[in-house]
Amino acid sequence: MSRPPLAGVAGKSGKRTASPGPGPSAGVSGLSAPGGPSTSGLGPGSISQRPQPTSPRQHGRAPSAELTALFECPVCFDYVLPPILQCQAGHLVCNGCRQKVSCCPTCRAALSPSIRNLAMEKVASTVAFPCKFAPAGCPLLLHHSEKLPHEESCEWRPYPCPCPGASCKWQGTLEAVMNHLALAHKSITTLQGEDIVFLATDIELPGAVDWVMMQSCYGQHFLLVLEKQERIEGHQQFFAAVLLIGSRKQAEGFAYRLELNGNRRRLSWEAVPRSIHDGITSAILNSDCLVFDAAVAHLFAEAGNLGINVTISMC
Ligand SMILES: [Zn+2]
Ligand SMILES: [Zn+2]
Ligand SMILES: [Zn+2]
Ligand SMILES: [Zn+2]
């Protein structure tokens, strides 16, 4: 509450300012040549009058781009990463595609028995591969062992539909999420304010059920989710959490409290909202949310409806 309101919440993280200020802008913007006023780095392909360095080792950049192209899978155009297996004629296919094809996509030769290409694996270890979401804007170049873990949490990864229950397969940019919800999930109601009551009706309904609503405050939209599961037969559990329709970084600027209150009892949970980029599923799997069982729900419910007080604050 003591911080200046809304500072830096709405905008992007302004990392890529183009101001030619003093000092080297050290950082992640991988490919851009750290050029001063001189016209040294014109990019690969442009031939300067300087004699080309003959040793490709000297200048890791342009040769690296050519090298990465050698690792392109002919089927999915993603990269073939170790363990690297080839067909009998030496063509490569990525491990994901290899599971789906019975013969080499390039020459139709048999793919089994597996022939491993250790030399290419060694070369792969020297190459910096672009993130899968480079076309969306991710600037990172990564060692092949870091590529998959990074892509799992890459900020440029498309956002999945935040609605619980995996029936909707929509993906898109963060900016498009609200529009998608308005079009495809019209039944979600929205309440304004930092302090609201999330009323889940008919909590006795059998089976797995999700209750979802939206809360708008601080110029942001939050998704409130209550999910009922029966992990062990006959033992129902409820999971409640708040997600920000925003990035992980934005979510860190908020805190939320869920509180069940009634019959002179109180149960509350406080946490940082998750970003919808991470989704509700991982929160529930890790019990990183308000968790209670059917008996507790009973204690607080009135006529089969459960009211959860939701308070969102900035921190
Ligand atoms: Zn492939
Ligand atoms: Zn082949
Ligand atoms: Zn990335
Ligand atoms: Zn959806």
Ligand nearest to the CA of 133: 3
- Give the tens place of pLDDT for each residue, 219-249: 999 999 999 998 888 889 999 999 999 999 9
Task: Decide whether 61-153 matches 173-314 in CATH topology.
Answer: no
List the domain boundaries for the chain. 61-153, 173-314
Between CA 38 and CA 50, with CA 44 as vertex, the angle to 5 degrees is 55
Dihedral sign, Cα of residue 195, residue 242, residue 225, residue 263: negative
Q: Looking at the domain 61-153, which fold is it?
A: Herpes Virus-1 (3.30.40)
Nearest Cα to Cα of residue 79 among 59, 89, 65: 65
Q: Say whether pLDDT at 21 is over 50.
A: no
Q: Say whether pLDDT at 26 is over 70.
A: no
At residue 37, the pLDDT reads 38
At residue 102, the pLDDT reads 86
Ligand 3 centroid to Cα of residue 9, in Å, is 22
Q: Give the pLDDT mean for 103-130.
A: 92
Ligand 1 centroid to Cα of residue 248, in Å, is 30
Proportion of the chain above pLDDT 90, given as a percent: 63
Residues 73, 60 contacting (CB under 8 angstroms): no
At residue 35, the pLDDT reads 38
Ligand 1 centroid to Cα of residue 118, in Å, is 19
Ligand 2 centroid to Cα of residue 71, in Å, is 14
Buried b (16+ CB within 10 A) or exposed e, 219-243: ebbbbbbbbbeeeeeeebbbbbbbb
Q: Which of residues 193 and 36 earns the better pLDDT score?
A: 193
Q: Are strands 306-314 and 254-262 parallel, antiparallel or unpaired?
A: antiparallel
Ligand 3 centroid to Cα of residue 61, in Å, is 19
Ligand 2 centroid to Cα of residue 104, in Å, is 5
Q: Say whether pLDDT at 153 is over 90.
A: no
Ligand 2 centroid to Cα of residue 147, in Å, is 26
- Give the tens place of pLDDT for each residue, 180-207: 999 999 999 999 999 999 999 999 888 8
Ligand nearest to the CA of 91: 2
Q: Give the pLDDT mean for 5-28.
A: 33
Helix (H) or strand (E) holding 95: helix 95-98
Ligand 1 centroid to Cα of residue 129, in Å, is 15
Ligand 2 centroid to Cα of residue 93, in Å, is 9
At residue 59, the pLDDT reads 41
Ligand nearest to the CA of 98: 1
Coil, strand or helix at 243: strand
Proportion of the chain above pLDDT 70, given as a percent: 80
Q: Give the pLDDT mean for 50-70.
A: 57
Structure tokens at 313: 């604050």
Ligand 2 centroid to Cα of residue 78, in Å, is 17
**CATH number of this structure's domain 173-314:** 2.60.210.10
pLDDT tier at 46, thresholds 50, 70, 90: very low
pLDDT tier at 166, thresholds 50, 70, 90: low
Neighbouring residues of 289: CB distance < 8 A, sequence distance ≥ 6? 239, 240, 241, 269, 271, 283
Buried b (16+ CB within 10 A) or exposed e, 26-65: eeeeeeeeeeeeeeeeeeeeeeeeeeeeeeeeeeeeeebb
- Give the tens place of pLDDT for each residue, 267-297: 999 999 999 998 898 899 999 999 999 999 9
Q: Give the pLDDT mean for 130-150.
A: 93
At residue 108, the pLDDT reads 92
Ligand 3 centroid to Cα of residue 94, in Å, is 19
Residues 130, 140 contacting (CB under 8 angstroms): yes
Ligand 4 centroid to Cα of residue 251, in Å, is 21
Ligand 2 centroid to Cα of residue 306, in Å, is 61
Global confidence as pTM: 0.67
pLDDT tier at 57, thresholds 50, 70, 90: very low
Q: Which of residues 112 and 163 earns the better pLDDT score?
A: 163
Ligand nearest to the CA of 168: 4
Ligand nearest to the CA of 88: 2
Nearest-angstrom CA–CA distance, 82 and 99: 15
Q: Among 110-119, 221-230, 294-303, name the one with the lowest average pLDDT.
A: 110-119
At residue 63, the pLDDT reads 57
At residue 165, the pLDDT reads 76
Nearest-angstrom CA–CA distance, 207 and 227: 10
Q: Give the pLDDT mean for 67-79.
A: 91
